[in-house]
Every structure is written in structure tokens, then in C-alpha cells.
Structure 1
Amino acid sequence: MAEWDAQRLEESYRDLWPAHFEANPDDIEKFYLNVAFPYPSGAMHVGHGRTYIVPDVIARFWRMQGKNVLFPMGFHVTGTPVIGISKRIAKGDEATIRLYRDLYRVPPDVLDRFDDPMTIVSYFAGDYERLMRRAGLSIDWRRRFITVDPQFSKFVEWQYLHLHEGEHVVKGVHPVKYCPSCDSPVGDHDLLEGDKAEIMRFTLVVFEWDGAKIPCATLRPETIYGVTNLWANPGVTYVRANVDGEDWVLSREAAYKLEMQDHTVAITGEIDGSAIVGTTATHSLCGEVPVLPADFVDPDMGSGLVMSVPAHAPFDFIALRDLQEEGRYTDIAPVAIIKTDGYGEFPAQDAIERGGIRNQNDPRMEEVTREVYAAELLRGTLLPGCGDQAGKPVKEARDAVAALMLADYGSKEMFDFDTRTVICRCGGRVYVKILHDQWFLNYSDAAWKEEVHAQIERMAIVPHETRAEFNRTVDWLKDWACTRRLGLGTKLPWDPAWIVEPLSDSTLYMAYYTIANHIRTIEPERLTPEVFDYIIYGTGDPTTVARETLDMIRAEFLYWYPYEFRFSAKDLISNHLTFQLFHHQAVMPADRQPQGMVIFGMGLLNGAKMSSSKGNVVLLEDALNEFGADTVRMFLIGSAEPWQDFDWRNELVTGSRKQIERFWNEITEGIAVEENEGRPIDRWLTSRLQHRIKNATAAMASFQTRQALQEAFFGIEADLKWYRRRLPTIAPGSAAIRDLCSVWVRLLAPIIPYTAEELWQMMGNEGPVAFAPWPEADEGQIDTATELAEEILSRTVEDIESIIRLIQMEPTAINLYVAPEWKRRIFGLIAGAEDRTDAVRFVMAEEGLKRHGKAAVNATRQITKFIHRLPPHLVTDLNAGLIEEKAVFEAAQEFLEREFGVQVQILDADGSGEPKADAALPFKPAIVIE
């Protein structure tokens, strides 16, 4: 018998498979699935592997179901990421060079050429394809493209002309993420750090101070009524600056940020923070307040000076308390301005005391701050003393006070991130900048939003709870800066000084896949907008491409589109996955809208989030080298359902390899022996197999790939273990085993294709297992009575084993006492009752049972507990009278004696004289071990 050899199997089939998966239009039902294409700027890790292996398993499943499956792949290379990498390498940035040399192991001669962005693209796109092929992905590689291909750029131009025509792309004034080093707006994909940073709108509350003004940035302007002091950092050198014609005192960092946000800023001098501390500042809505020292004030946050509201801000409360415990500023008391259910007069104090927080360095401070802020926003009401805002809910007063301050109190708006550091891939700091001539996708358009909401309701979304997240994203989504000055990509057709940014050019490429293999053969200059109008809409009369060719390409598009399912990570719901729904609504016909999406969880390594930049990854190539493709696939499928986070741990991956080896050995042994005439237990194995088929099929169809593996591998393996246990010592093969082998190989073929392919060929089958028919459950082979008999038997064996372990002695004999018929009657009454809460009452109402008195009462209570522990379907089947309990044990007497090595007697509990026999229940005999 040949041993399982992962490397040999991969070498045997890897290069033979790709041609089989080239999908063309046919007259059979299609299934088109796709996955968010990768950005090839670094080596693949096992997290990427899972992203692409899950949809491959689904693709293989539906092929075996007889569908014509399209699974394409391309590479996303537009934007600035590879440009930033090439610049850092060209500058000799040691951290970047070390990452690519040591972690990604780029050959030195190739790394020397990484100062050219396209060399990076070419190298890693090729590497990704090589590893995807090695991992057994059933991709149609004819449709491969990269987003800087000129033909794809023509498709993007066509899309944006229609978006512009529909007024979905507009010029406007908006705050955007901006990299001064690149002199260009940047998107999330352009960032090394802070890719989840949100742009926040702060109100600068302006206090009068010593002939100048001190601005304090806040997200809660309504709290001005409760300000007791300002905070300044005595260790910071602040600047005096002329801001829009006014003399302001603020941090140097804040002055720079304001200069980028449509403010005229000229620095006129410096002032130490220690010179500000101890002075006073004034605002009409809170009066005169002192400026207190605070080392925690960060000059890079807001304006570098902070207004303090200790009644409602935990950080302010505890900082003031710390000073007062030193005997300083004891005359300052919190001012309550918000009443919130669940809190006393001073919510900040309540939250700190409940949490047992002793100082401002406690890591729980952030948590209690979020708790108080959220509670006040949702349930808070402004108290008397808040002027015209008294009595208003906080969420209403917040905007009203902000507007009041902007109109009457000299306040201004300031934009900043909700995280401290946002870094461009070029290595430069990213800021918020107000742009005037920038092009934006008008995602704030209410009518457009409604169209997308309606589409979300029509789609199949897995898991279902993420539908709400999509709807929330649509609701809060604002206009999106869709162009950049720098980077790789498509020039905006009506304003070529701008380039479409990467999250905005990757919104309809799923449709491009359907025609990519044809479009690549056409010269880019011939791909006019009219060509794509004809392909997508069937309109117009383009002359640059032959009509016969256009009809063929349009037929391919119409056959494949829309896609059935798109697979992508949950962190893309907030941008890409929702963006593509907007763009489909704006550009694609109503009958070509997306049908479904499956949302992935995240990847962990030994419990910590995977991060290439931090080196916390296992490269996919290393995993394939060490474990083999099928082991990697089986672990990634079995570790979690697609939408759950998975955790890569080498010791567990080793377990998957052993499982495949066991599977290999079972199949090779099962197909090698001659068949016998069969045994009664074969009926049980065949019956169980029908359930495994049914359950695995249902799980696959609902994307529960882990559950499918549980049924298709662990379930069948467990059945086989019991089957072999039930056989005599010498157990040649049978038709049931050979049938099981054929089914088993096909059930696991989507998950471990290399192993399944070899076994399928060893079994003498023709054609690839990838196109073999998926097993179908045969209801006619389900033998419920036989399954029930084995269920009772296996449960009894477990009970005997438990007793032997408990008494810690070798038995000399085992007696099984079967419950009498009157207990069987009680079982039937309880099993058939809708309400079992008062079983004793209705059981004892039966004349035939009442005569058993206390014994019937005790039996009723015991049987009720027993039934509650059984699966409902088992209770129903047992109550159907399909088996005779004593006959089951008598038929298995030889097995039981062989199993335990002692004489086993099957006896009636009634009249036995054995006191312990009274414990016998229907389908749970009393066990007496001598």
C-alpha cells in the first residue's frame, strides 16, 4: 500500500489541472463566484491562503453539483502603495529592505530592481499566481489581468464617464486624507498605519486670553456650560499665530493642520506652556476659568489646549482630583450640566468610582470615557443653567450649540483623525486637508443611497447579521475623494490631471472578468466607450471592433453576469464592498446586480492578529512546504466557518496532516480487499452515510464549510470506527465499504483535491474528481430501525465503560436488565406530550400505571430526565416502535462479550430479583457488573 506523499501528489496534478477550469458559456446552469483580488506588494501569508481557499472549496462543490463554475483572479496594483515601497527602498529605508529581504525573501538581484514599482508588481503578481496554483485553486487563469493593463483602464474610463453623466462624480470642497510628501489625497489602501482612521469634525471653542484667543477642540460643544478650567501642558512650547486675522495661541502642530484646512495661518512667536498655566481665560457661556497644568495634554491632538469638564469627562475629573489631592486648586468643583439615567449628579465620578480607578494612567480610562460619552449622547438631557439649550436631549443640543458657536462666538471647525498617527506608504505623515478642485463620488446622495439599501435587502448576505452593517455603512457614507494626483491607475477621462484612486477603480472589475479573456486581445485604442456600451447595454453601433466579435463578447457577459457570490473580508464592508454596490446601481442594468456576498472573519497567528509589517505572519509558501497544500487547505477550512476568525497554530495544523493520512489509509485499504457478501452492520453504515451526504451537502450549500468538513470527514470517520468495532476480528471488505470509499473521496474532493484526485484515479475512475458527480443521499437506503438499534447499543457500551472506570476493577460478568413494558408505556406518554412539566400527573392518571404506585412515580421522573437529555428526533424515533429493545441486545450479545471479554446476559428487569434492576429504563438497561 502506497503511503500518502503530499509533494508527489502536488507534482502529479498541479500542472494538469488549470486547463480543466477554463469556464466557457454553455447551456447548463452557471455559478459565478469571485473574491476580492489581492494587492501583490508582498508575499502571501496563510491569511491570504484562507481568503482564496474558501471560495475555491465552494467553486469545486458547485462544479461537482453539475454547474458551470467561473472562478477568476486578477491583481490590484493601482494607487500609491508600490510607489511608496519603491521610494523607501530607493532611499535605503532599512526597515523596508529588511522586510522584503528577510521576511518575504526576495532574491537580492530582484530586490535591487525594486526601486521600479512595476518590478514589484510583476514579481509579486507572478508569485501569487504560482502559490495559488500550488494551493490547488481552480481558477480560470485566462481571465487574469492587473489594474494597470491599458484594456482595463479603458473599462474604468467607460465606467467613470457614465458616473459623471449621472452626476455621481462631482467637484466639491471636502476634508480628505492627504499626504504632503506625495502632495496627493490618499485612501485606506495607501496607508502603512491608520488605515481605519476616521476624519472627525471638531468645534474649536475660542476662549479670550490675555489679548489673544485660545481655541480648544471638542466633539462635545454642548459641554461648554460645564467648563471649570482649561488644561495646558507646561512642557510644550506653544506658538502665537495670526489665524484668519486673529491672534491665537495653540500648538505648532495644530497651526500646521489648520493651514491645510482653508485657514490663513502665520506664526508670529512662541510661548512656553508654563507661562500659560496659572492664568485665566474667558468664554461668554462659562465665564472666567483658570488654566491648569496637565502633562497628559498632547500638542498633536486638537489645538494642544483642552477645555475641562470634570463632571462629564472622566479624564478631566481624575486629573483635577489628582491635583487637589496634592492640595492644589481645591476651590474648583465640577459643574453638572447633563442629567443621564443610570448616573448621579457627576457621571464621570460615578464611572470612575464604579470601576475602582485610582489614577489617570489606568488602562480602563478609555473604556469608562466611552461609556459615559455614549450614555450621555443616547440618554442625556441638558440641565437648567445651559441657557436656551436647557431641557434638550444631548444629541439635539450638540449640533445646536456647535452652530451657535460658529455663528456668534468666533468658533471654527477643525478636522482631525480619531487616531493619533496616520502614515502614508511613502513613509510620510498624513493629515486632513480641505480640497477644492477634488473629484468626489457623491455617496451622500439620498436617492443613490436608497437604491443601494433596496439592493442590500434583495441580496443573499452571509452571515445574515452583516446585512445591518452594510445598511449602517450606506447611511453614514459621505462623499468620497475618488481621484489622486500621483500613483498608478486610470486617468480621469474628462480631467486627465487626476488619476482614479484604487478603491474607486475596483468597483466593477467583477464584470470585467467575464470578458477579460477576449478584451485582452483587442488594441486599447479600439476600446472606445461605445464598445463597452454595446457589450454591457447592447446599444449603439461601434465601428472600431467587428460586430461578430462584439456579439460574442456580449454573449459571454450576459451568460456569466451577475455574479452569484462575492467573497471578501469584513473590514471591507465600510468601503470596497459597499462602494461596488453603489457603482452597480449607477452603471449596471437592473438585471445585472450582485446576487450575494460572503463575509470573512480575520486571521490570527497563535491568538494575535496577523500583520506583515509587524512580522506576525506565516508565509503561505512556508506552510505549503512544511505541511503540503491539502493539509493547509484542510486546516484552514476546519479551523472556523468562513465568517469567523481563524487562528493558525502549527501544532494544530500537524493534526490535520495526520487526519489526511488516516483518510488515505482507510481508502487505500478499503478499495484493496475483496468484497464479502455483506453483514447486517453494513446496512447501518450505508444508512449513516446517507445522513452524512445530506448534512455535508446542506452545509456546503450554505457556505458552512467547517460544518461540511465535520460531517464529511470526522462524521464518517466516527461511523467507520464504530462499524469496525462491531465487526468480527477478521473483517474483509464489502460493497458497503467500497461504496463508502467512492462517496467519501468525492465529499472531501473540494477540500483536499490532490489527495482525492489520486485516490479517485486509484479506484479506476475516468476523468478528474473535480468533475465527478457530487454524492446524492438515497432515502431508500436509510434504515432508521437499524440506526436506532446501534444508537442504543453504543450508548449502552459507553455506560458500561463509564461504570468500569468508576469501580476500577475488571469485570467477571455483565448483566443487562431490560425495562418492563409498563415503563415503556410511561416513555410513550412522556415522549408524546407537548407539555412535560407535570408528567407525574398525567402518567398516574392511567389506570394501568397507577397500580405500580411509587415505582411508577420514580420511573416517570427518571424517564423525564432521560428524555430531556436525548435529541428530539431520537425520542420520536424510539417512540415509533421500530425496534424491540431486548432483541437488539440479544442480537449484539456476541459483540458485547467480545468487547468486554466476559459473559454478558440479557435479562428482564421484572421478576429478576436483582435490586439494581429497578433502575432499568426504556432504551437504557440497568447494568450490573460482577
Structure 2
Amino acid sequence: MTEAYNPKVVEKAAQSFWDEKDSFAAKESKKPKYYCLSMFPYPSGKLHMGHVRNYTIGDVISRFKRMQGFNVLQPMGWDSFGLPAENAAIENDVSPKEWTIQNIDAMRGQLKSLGFSYDWNREFATSSPDYYKWEQSFFNKLFDQGLIYKKESEVNWDPVDETVLANEQVIDGKGWRSGATIEKKKIDQYFIKITDYADKLLENIQELDGWPNQVKLMQENWIGKSKGLEFNFQIKDHNDALRVFTTRPDTIFGATYCAVAMDHPLAISLIESNPKIHDFIKNNKNITTSEAAIATQEKLGMDTGLKAIHPFTREDIPIWIANFILMDYGTGAVMCVPGHDQRDWEFAKKYSISIKQVIESDQDNGVSDGALEDKGILINSKQFNGLDFDDAFDSITKELVKTNDAEVKTNFRLRDWGISRQRYWGCPIPIIHCDDCGPVKVPETDLPVELPEIDNISSKGLNLSTFSDWMAVKCPKCSKDATRETDTFDTFFESSWYFARFAGISDKEMISKEASNWLPVDQYVGGIEHAILHLLYARFFNILMHENKLIHNEEPFTKLLTQGMVLADAFYVLDEAGNKTWLNKDSLDDKNGELLDNSGNKVFKDGMSKMSKSKLNGVDPKEMIDKYGADTVRLYMMFTSPPEQTLEWSENAIEGSYRFIKRFWTLVEGRSNNIEEPSAFNKDEETLRRKSHQTLKKVLKDYEERNSFNTVIAAVMELINAIPESFKIEDASESQKYCLNEAIEFSLKILSPIAPHVTLELWSKFNSSKDKSLFETSWPEFKENLILDDNFELIIQVNGKVRGKEKIEKTLTEEQIKSIALSNENVSKHIQLDNIKKVIYVKEKLINFVI
């Protein structure tokens, strides 16, 4: 009688075994290296299913590569600075440091419970002075190189969280975390000159062959390199000119108005003299300047009353102030061509401005229903009629250079990276301000500049300017009284180089020489929501580290896998005003097929949406592990959908994964691979061996080339289903047992990266030699001669309709195949030999009898 599968016992034993042997420590080796990294988490204290999916994918890849003979580095650490920890500390009346340490301890245990093969010897938290010391040191290098500067700039200010937000953190004019209405505010900020590297970042994208095209395109668009023309529109009755930038000079004859940003000098000059303009700018200045938001928000404007003189037609065209023009792109002023730019078209329609068509293209449907944005042939453009885009660009540029101070310019949408934040829980910027010497970097011998210790945080939070004793310091240059910088780094600063620190941890330097053995990261795993900021900043930092001879590689990540989100059903009730209140699935009652809440109110199903705290549709990984075991959770996560696609959570489906593991356990437990290979096999045995080796060949491709773990699992299920029952019984022949054992061995090794605990336990009993644990064994090799099938499946048709199928030996003649097809029981019901008019045979595929 076989022992019952008990995941708690099996998983505890496996994890203890790995810990005792320090099984996953990355050490110096002659084996080829493989560095697999999943984006490290913010230590919230609790794993969610998105974490589980992300880290299971990385672990499956790592374990597979170990079995292939690679020396694998798979580390784990904590992105532990930032506003979330500070806000949580306020809510729980503790210090952010204490809160973070507690959460790291909790999450480490949760990660270990899933059996992830991390090298915990390399673990670090970015909030540790041992880590951010080197970040401050690197900042000093960049400061010396002139790549860091400070200037007053207009920022998105969250008055509740009391910090600056990036444009991407402002949603519908509200702070992404606090929900507060965002204000525009001018403050001094530190910036790093990422724009100096815009061309390099753009050029290198072409080398990222292992990245998804979607992510590369997102980065290209974010950098936003564009060649265009900068020139003047003379302002009527003024000595001044309005300088504009356009990427489409070919459309200049379609310009029917100009528009400037709300903070353009022209707009600002009109505020005092024009109350309407004053009110318009005041009412709209706090609207986010994120391009994504601008693309969808209502287009609003105010006519300045000023007229621009068209450089070719000499017509007067109005100058507007518009909320969709960005001051920090181009000149902050544009010529607007509503016939050939959709944004301009929407604005023109709203304010009854004329629309002209000056381009003809293959997709030409006119401009009455929308802008025609394709490039094409010029029309209604006087002497330039008939020119295509390139010729028109050159010809119009030559004319404008003569009269309108035109010059061809290359612009980028990318802006320098603002790295200052005004909160306590972050890495202090290592600058000292002296009245005589100005900003002075903290000497290397005084690093790290550590945060002042606190017991808790008030409800409003705090920043470093509240610590007067900490701020007071002597100037390193002149020794006079000075003050410390009170801003902290944007947390993207920490996550932009952590991958290199994992590869070369040292007490004596930022990145040790060991890093050259591991970098670049061979496989990076994380969500596509990080496609722009984190991944772009990490690439930028990597270039800087390369220039400073800290690492040898210019790009950080060879391959990138962006996993899909985990979705689950969400439920809500409506109040009288139609507002939604989200409900946890477990709080619902099913009364005769109708869902009700505890008060008897009708519950509505929102469908599948991203698991989130706000919608109360998250599933606690711990509950699932306690109920089914870590291997079932891992198997389910990998089986339900390909990694790049969304995963729809279903407890019925996870039950199916649990049943499969129990069935597999029953098949393997109590068996031993102690059968010698026989000299001959019968037909059924050869069929199973062929299936085993075909499966091995297929899953190798799925693992290596496609990361298609769902089809790996499906292939093993198919192999197990193909095992004849007669091979499993006690008195099966030696050759049958050998074929069964071969199928089991392959299945154990194939599933080992996905379900490592149960396969380790089963292997320890199944492996008669006992010389190696499963994770130390090598990946099995398929035999090509066993994969080739001597048979094929013949499809038999009568007048084109399938009437039967037969297994046919490849050595048979066409006449022999015809005879077998005609003797098929079902085929004989639909055919008489003397009615056959024609026989069509497609070799090794089908035969069709026409009657």
C-alpha cells in the first residue's frame, strides 16, 4: 500500500534538505554562468498572487538551467525605501525602519514556503546603510562629472503626502496613493542628466533582441526622438515673434492657429492685463502634465486675441493658450494643423476654428470626420504642391531659413530625471550646503550619511528638515557651520543598480570584481508596468556604471520576460447614489442562484479584474499553500496560462492541479528504477518509449525557447495518460517496468523545476542508485532514433467527409493502404466497391474515395 501524499510533510522535508546543504548558493565554478533575476519586491509584509506568479516563473527557469549544467545565480532582496513604508509606519505608530524589518522577516518566510531556490547569502535591503553607502558614493562621482545639478522646477506636489510626484503618479489630477488634489509648485530639485544619454539609450534598444517588442517600442516612444523644424511666426502689431517647433513642416499650409503652453512666457505676459486668461491659467495649472493624461483629457483653450502672421500665405491666424501643449517639449509653442493632427482637430472643432486639408494620401477620406495624419503628397500648398514628405521638408525648410530664422532641430520627449524627494524614509542625498562654498559633497570617509533614528512618525509624516541636530554640520571645505541636504533620493535610484550589487557584494567597494563573472543578467522577470521608468533608469545607470569601469557590460538585461497580471472575479453592491462598494467573495450568500450580501442587497459581478486591495478580490497565497501545498500553487500558476498572458484565478482549477499531483504521487510512490534495459521491446513498449522521448524533445524546446511552461505540464500529463494500465501492475514484465520507469524518470525531471518538493521526495525513493538528489541530476537526453515513428495515422474520407482513421505502417504500398482503408468498418458502411469513381491518396496523410 502506497503512502498518502501529504504536502506539508513533503515540503518541510525538502526545504530543510536544501537549507542544510545551502543548495542554491552561487559559487565560483567552471560551469557556464546563468543569472536569473525577478524584480525584487517592496516589503509590504504579505505576498500576493502577482508576487507568486512572478517569482515562480523565475524559479522554474533557474531550476531548469541548473539541471542543464549551468552555474546559476538567483538572488533575492528588498526594495525597502519609499513612501508606502512611511505611510504604513504612520498608521501603525512605529518607525519605518522597524516596520520594514518586521515585513522583511515575514515575507522571507513566505518566499521560503514556496521553495524558491534563492541564494539567501546575497540578500540585502536597499534601506540598509551597507547598501546606500555605495549609492551615495556613486552620486558623488556623478556630481564631480557634472551629471548632477539642482534647479528650481515646477513639480506635482501632493499636499497630503507632502512630496513630489512624477507625472505618471498623478491620475486624473489626484495623487496615486493619497487621492489628494495635486498642486503645481516650484521647488529646488536635484536632477541627473539622462538626456545626455538619450541617443545612446535609443541606439542600444536595437541590441535588445531578447526583449519583447512592445517594451522596446514603449521605451522608444518615451525617449521620443524627433527631427523637426524650429522657426518664427511674426506676431501682428508686435516686434516679437512666436518661435514654434514642428515635426511636420510639410503641413504648414494647413496651419490655422498657433497654441502655447500655459506657462509659456507669452501666456504669462498676458495674465495681468487679461482677467480671462488669468482665470483660465489659474483654473487649469494643476492639471497633470503627463502625456498619457493629456492624450485623453478634454482639450481646453483661451484665445489670446493676438494674431500670428502665416509665413507663406501672410494670413492672420489666432494664437491660443492650450492645456495640451507642454512647455518642456520643443519651444512650448506649436503651429496647429487640425486637418492633419487629431489633437488639433478636436480643439478646432470645439472652438470653431477653420480646418484645411493640405495632404493627400492612400487613406484619404477627407478631414471632415477627423484628421488625416498619414504622410502623403502636398495639395493646396502653392509652389510645393505635388511634393512628398521628404522633398517638402527640405524645400519648405530652405524657404523658411531665408526669412524666418528656421533651423532643423532634433528634440527628445525624454526629460532629465528629478531624483529629489521630500520625505524621511529614503536615502539621504550626500550634499552639505555652505554659505561660502555652496553645495559640497560629503567626503567618502564620512559615508554613509545615515538617517536620524526615530521611534515613530506623526500623522503628517516628516522630512529631514525637522532634525535640526542632524542637519547641523561643518563644511568639509572651509570648516564653517553648514547644513545637510534634507531631500532623499527617488526610490528608483536604489532599484536602478541593485542587480549589479547582487552579482558582486563587497564591504569594500560598490561592486566587486566577482560581478564580471555574472553580469549581464541573462533573464529578467517582471511586470510590463515597469517597461518605462524602472527599466529605462536601470539601463541608464548601467551605462554610467560601465563608463565608471565598475562593470564590463553596457546593457543590464539580456532577456526580459514580462508576466501577465493575475485576475479574479470582483463583486460589488450599489448604494442609492449608484456608488460601488466592493465586497469579498467569502462574504456573499447564494440564494437560489442570486448573490446577496449580508444585508440581503443584490450583489453584482464585475467580472475578472486585477487582484487588488481596493476591489477585495485578492487571494491569500498562504491560505492556498496551507490547503493544497506550495507545489500545487506553483503548478497551477504555470499551467493555467502562458507567462506573458493574464492568469484568471479559479479555485476549481487549482483543485485540478492538486488532483494531478496526487495522481502522479500514486503512480510513482513505491517504485524503483532498478530494472536493466532489456535487449528487445514489443510494439506497445516501443510506443511508450517513443512517447517518452518525444515528450522530452518537445518540453526542451518549450523550456529553452518559449518559456511555455503550461505546455510542458500538458505534455507530461499526456505522457502519463499514455502509460498502459498493464505496465503498472505488480506482475508486469521486466521490459514493461523498464518502459514505465523511463516515463516516470523523464516526468520527474521535467516537472522538477515546477514542482520541486514532491519530485525531490519521489526521486529520493525512486532513484535506486541514491547517488544524487534530484536538483543535482542533469537534464536527460532524448534519443532521436526512438522519436521517429514507423507508423502514421491515415485519415479516410468518402467524398471529402472523414469516415475513419487507421494506424498505417510507413513501409506499406499504396494498394495495401487502400485495402486497409476499405476494410475499415465505418468506411464500408458508406461505400460500395463498384461505385468508386476515383481514389485520391496524399502520402502518409489521407485517402479520399470519390463515389
Fold in common (TM above 0.5): yes
Q: Bigger CA drift: 149-158 or 664-673?
A: 664-673
Q: Bigger CA drift: 18-27 or 729-738?
A: 729-738
Q: Measure the CA separation in 2 of the matches of 1:730 and 1:916.
A: 50
**Residue in 2 aligned with 1:583?**
544
Asked if the contact 1:686–1:736 (Cα under 8 Å) also holds between the matched residues in 2, the reply is: yes
Residue 499 of structure 1, CA deviation: 3.2
Asked if the contact 2:11–2:757 (Cα under 8 Å) also holds between the matched residues in 1, the reply is: yes
Q: Measure the CA separation in 2 of the matches of 1:289 and 1:567.
A: 52
Asked if the contact 1:21–1:139 (Cα under 8 Å) also holds between the matched residues in 2, the reply is: no
Asked if the contact 2:377–2:388 (Cα under 8 Å) also holds between the matched residues in 1, the reply is: no
Q: Measure the CA separation in 2 of the matches of 1:275 and 1:757.
A: 67
Asked if the contact 2:751–2:759 (Cα under 8 Å) also holds between the matched residues in 1, the reply is: yes
Among candidates 550, 565, 588, match of residue 603 of structure 1: 565
1:782 aligned onto 2:773 = no
Asked if the contact 1:79–1:190 (Cα under 8 Å) also holds between the matched residues in 2, the reply is: no
Q: Measure the CA separation in 2 of the matches of 1:562 and 1:819.
A: 50
Instruction: Report SS of the residue matched to 1:758.
Output: helix
The letter for the 2-side match of 1:112 is N
Asked if the contact 1:492–1:500 (Cα under 8 Å) also holds between the matched residues in 2, the reply is: no
Residue 135 of structure 1, CA deviation: 1.4
1:480 aligned onto 2:417 = yes
**Residue in 2 aligned with 1:660?**
661
**Residue in 2 aligned with 1:142?**
121
Instruction: Report SS of the residue matched to 1:121.
Output: helix
1:384 aligned onto 2:375 = no
Q: Measure the CA separation in 2 of the matches of 1:589 and 1:219.
A: 41
Among candidates 351, 357, 363, match of residue 342 of structure 1: 363
Quickly say closer, same or farther: Cα 1:576–1:394, change in 2 above 3 A: farther
Asked if the contact 2:377–2:386 (Cα under 8 Å) also holds between the matched residues in 1, the reply is: no
**Residue in 1 aligned with 2:70?**
67
Residue 631 of structure 1, CA deviation: 2.2
Asked if the contact 1:39–1:77 (Cα under 8 Å) also holds between the matched residues in 2, the reply is: yes
Q: How does 1:852-867 map to 2 (within 5 A)?
A: none
Asked if the contact 1:226–1:336 (Cα under 8 Å) also holds between the matched residues in 2, the reply is: yes
Residue 581 of structure 1, CA deviation: 3.5
Q: Measure the CA separation in 1 of the matches of 2:392 and 2:494.
A: 37
Q: Measure the CA separation in 1 of the matches of 2:97 and 2:709.
A: 39
Residue 150 of structure 1, CA deviation: 0.8
Q: Measure the CA separation in 1 of the matches of 2:840 and 2:729.
A: 29
The letter for the 1-side match of 2:522 is E
**Residue in 2 aligned with 1:155?**
134
Q: Which has the higher strand share?
A: 2
**Residue in 2 aligned with 1:10?**
11
**Residue in 2 aligned with 1:567?**
525
Q: Measure the CA separation in 1 of the matches of 2:153 and 2:271.
A: 19
The letter for the 2-side match of 1:771 is F
Asked if the contact 1:80–1:190 (Cα under 8 Å) also holds between the matched residues in 2, the reply is: no
Q: Measure the CA separation in 2 of the matches of 1:340 and 1:302.
A: 29
Q: Measure the CA separation in 2 of the matches of 1:640 and 1:692.
A: 19
Q: Measure the CA separation in 1 of the matches of 2:845 and 2:686.
A: 23
Instruction: Report SS of the residue matched to 1:709.
Output: helix
Q: Measure the CA separation in 2 of the matches of 1:125 and 1:565.
A: 24
Residue by residue over 1:54-89, the C-alpha shift from the partner in whole angstroms, topping out at 9 and shown as x without a partner, is 111111112223433221101112343433x34xx8
Q: Which has the higher helix share?
A: 1
Quickly say closer, same or farther: Cα 1:340–1:781, change in 2 above 3 A: closer
Quickly say closer, same or farther: Cα 1:336–1:63, change in 2 above 3 A: closer
Residue 152 of structure 1, CA deviation: 0.6
The letter for the 1-side match of 2:500 is A
Q: Measure the CA separation in 2 of the matches of 1:14 and 1:727.
A: 31
Residue by residue over 1:834-856, the C-alpha shift from the partner in whole angstroms, topping out at 9 and shown as x without a partner, is xxxxxxxxxxxxxxxxxxxxxxx
Q: Measure the CA separation in 2 of the matches of 1:59 and 1:714.
A: 22
Among candidates 499, 515, 527, match of residue 510 of structure 1: 499
**Residue in 2 aligned with 1:358?**
none
Among candidates 771, 777, 783, match of residue 775 of structure 2: 771
Quickly say closer, same or farther: Cα 1:250–1:641, change in 2 above 3 A: same
1:743 aligned onto 2:746 = yes
**Residue in 2 aligned with 1:637?**
638
Instruction: Report SS of the residue matched to 1:567.
Output: strand
The letter for the 2-side match of 1:788 is D
Q: Measure the CA separation in 2 of the matches of 1:65 and 1:153.
A: 36
Residue 485 of structure 1, CA deviation: 4.3
Q: Measure the CA separation in 1 of the matches of 2:521 and 2:385.
A: 55
Q: Measure the CA separation in 2 of the matches of 1:820 and 1:767.
A: 44
Asked if the contact 2:157–2:164 (Cα under 8 Å) also holds between the matched residues in 1, the reply is: yes
Residue 751 of structure 1, CA deviation: 0.3
Residue 773 of structure 1, CA deviation: 1.3
**Residue in 1 aligned with 2:309?**
284
Asked if the contact 1:216–1:302 (Cα under 8 Å) also holds between the matched residues in 2, the reply is: no
The letter for the 2-side match of 1:488 is G
Q: Measure the CA separation in 1 of the matches of 2:167 and 2:544.
A: 19
Among candidates 14, 25, 31, match of residue 27 of structure 2: 25
Residue 780 of structure 1, CA deviation: 7.6
Residue 755 of structure 1, CA deviation: 1.8
Asked if the contact 2:255–2:336 (Cα under 8 Å) also holds between the matched residues in 1, the reply is: yes
Among candidates 93, 96, 100, match of residue 113 of structure 1: 93
The letter for the 2-side match of 1:565 is Q
Residue 26 of structure 1, CA deviation: 3.8
Asked if the contact 2:692–2:742 (Cα under 8 Å) also holds between the matched residues in 1, the reply is: no
Which runs of 5 or more structure 2 residues have no equivalent in the other structure?
A: 178-217, 260-266, 289-299, 328-332, 432-439, 443-484, 569-607
1:491 aligned onto 2:491 = no
Quickly say closer, same or farther: Cα 1:132–1:770, change in 2 above 3 A: farther
Which runs of 5 or more structure 1 residues have no equivalent in the other structure?
A: 91-110, 232-239, 262-273, 324-328, 353-367, 410-443, 446-474, 520-526, 537-555, 808-813, 828-858, 860-884, 890-902
Instruction: Report SS of the residue matched to 2:117.
Output: coil
CA RMSD of aligned residues (A): 6.1
Quickly say closer, same or farther: Cα 1:587–1:655, change in 2 above 3 A: farther
Q: Measure the CA separation in 2 of the matches of 1:618 and 1:824.
A: 62
Residue 298 of structure 1, CA deviation: 9.4
Quickly say closer, same or farther: Cα 1:716–1:320, change in 2 above 3 A: same
| Higher radius of gyration, 1 or 2 | 1
Residue 319 of structure 1, CA deviation: 8.5
Asked if the contact 2:234–2:308 (Cα under 8 Å) also holds between the matched residues in 1, the reply is: yes
Asked if the contact 2:689–2:739 (Cα under 8 Å) also holds between the matched residues in 1, the reply is: yes
Q: Bigger CA drift: 707-716 or 307-316?
A: 307-316
Instruction: Report SS of the residue matched to 1:32.
Output: strand
**Percent identical across equivalent pairs?**
17
Residue by residue over 1:572-615, the C-alpha shift from the partner in whole angstroms, topping out at 9 and shown as x without a partner, is 34233333442342234564564722221331415544555555
1:501 aligned onto 2:490 = yes
Residue 658 of structure 1, CA deviation: 3.1
Residue 818 of structure 1, CA deviation: 9.9
Q: Measure the CA separation in 2 of the matches of 1:752 and 1:817.
A: 38
Residue by residue over 1:2-29, the C-alpha shift from the partner in whole angstroms, topping out at 9 and shown as x without a partner, is 3433344334433443343341524441
Q: Measure the CA separation in 1 of the matches of 2:355 and 2:563.
A: 45
Among candidates 277, 281, 297, match of residue 254 of structure 1: 281
Residue 255 of structure 1, CA deviation: 4.2
Quickly say closer, same or farther: Cα 1:532–1:135, change in 2 above 3 A: closer
Asked if the contact 1:382–1:392 (Cα under 8 Å) also holds between the matched residues in 2, the reply is: no
Quickly say closer, same or farther: Cα 1:168–1:601, change in 2 above 3 A: farther
Instruction: Report SS of the residue matched to 1:50.
Output: helix
Q: How does 1:774-853 map to 2 (within 5 A)?
A: 774-779=778-783, 782=786, 784=788, 787-789=789-791, 791-792=792-793, 823=814
Q: Measure the CA separation in 2 of the matches of 1:190 and 1:619.
A: 27
Instruction: Report SS of the residue matched to 2:655.
Output: helix
**Residue in 2 aligned with 1:832?**
none
